[in-house]
Amino acid sequence: MMRIMTRYPVRADVRLDDPALESLLSGPVVVLMVGPAGGGKSTVARELTAQRPHLEIVSYDREQADGRIVGAAAVARAHGRLRQCCAGGRGAVVDGTHRQPERRAAVQRIAVAHQLPTIALVVLPSLTRCLEQQLLRSRVVPESDVRAQHAAVTELLPSLPAEGYELVAVLDPGHAVPAGFPGESGNTV
């Protein structure tokens, strides 16, 4: 079972099936996946939705059917799908890197408009693991992009709690959380 170390509100080590996390996931909620390509976000999204029929995966990659870099039209389609889910009383797991603040803010605005809480779930394994995973993917992301995504997500970690999420959780055993993350001083998750 994958493990999560929640950071906001500060909690002890929990798993994806932890009762406190499950209480947030038990009803309509928007889960914002955050992390670099090859980090395992899609795998976690599938795990989250497998036993929760009220949650649907909304994927930018799925909306970008031609396999290229996700463009504005794909983002608009994904956000439209998210609005449909929320308006229909369903929650969603929004699968994307979300390193761009405007994309995170857009997802939150949609959730707030439908009075749904938002969880930021950060999937941040080592850069080496992300690069190795590229060899197994059907849609390979260039190494330079993966490196930039990993650096950007690592850098934004300390600011995520201030963005107003109901919960910010960092997933990956063995990953060193950067100093400055609320409640942390560079400890290993």
pLDDT tens for residues 79-129?
999 999 999 999 999 999 999 999 999 999 999 999 999 999 988 888 999
The HSE-up count of residue 170 (CA atoms within 13 Å, CB side) is: 30
| pLDDT for the residue 177 | 41
> What contacts 8, CB < 8 A, 6 or more positions away?
160, 161, 165, 167, 168, 182, 183
| pLDDT for the residue 70 | 59
Tokens 């406190």 locate to 20
Q: Which CATH superfamily is domain 22-166 in?
A: P-loop containing nucleotide triphosphate hydrolases (3.40.50.300)
Map out the domains of the chain as residue ranges: 22-166
- Average pLDDT by consecutive 10-residue portion of the chain (189 residues)? 41 52 85 92 87 90 64 85 94 93 95 94 89 83 93 91 87 47 37
Tell me how long the chain is: 189
From CA 110, how far away is CA 76, in angstroms rounded?
A: 12
Q: How far is CA 33 from CA 45, 46, 66, 79, in A?
A: 8, 12, 22, 14
| pLDDT for the residue 69 | 60
Which pTM was predicted? 0.81
Residue-averaged pLDDT of the chain: 79
| pLDDT for the residue 68 | 59
| pLDDT for the residue 10 | 33
| pLDDT for the residue 158 | 86
From CA 115, how far away is CA 102, in angstroms rounded?
A: 20
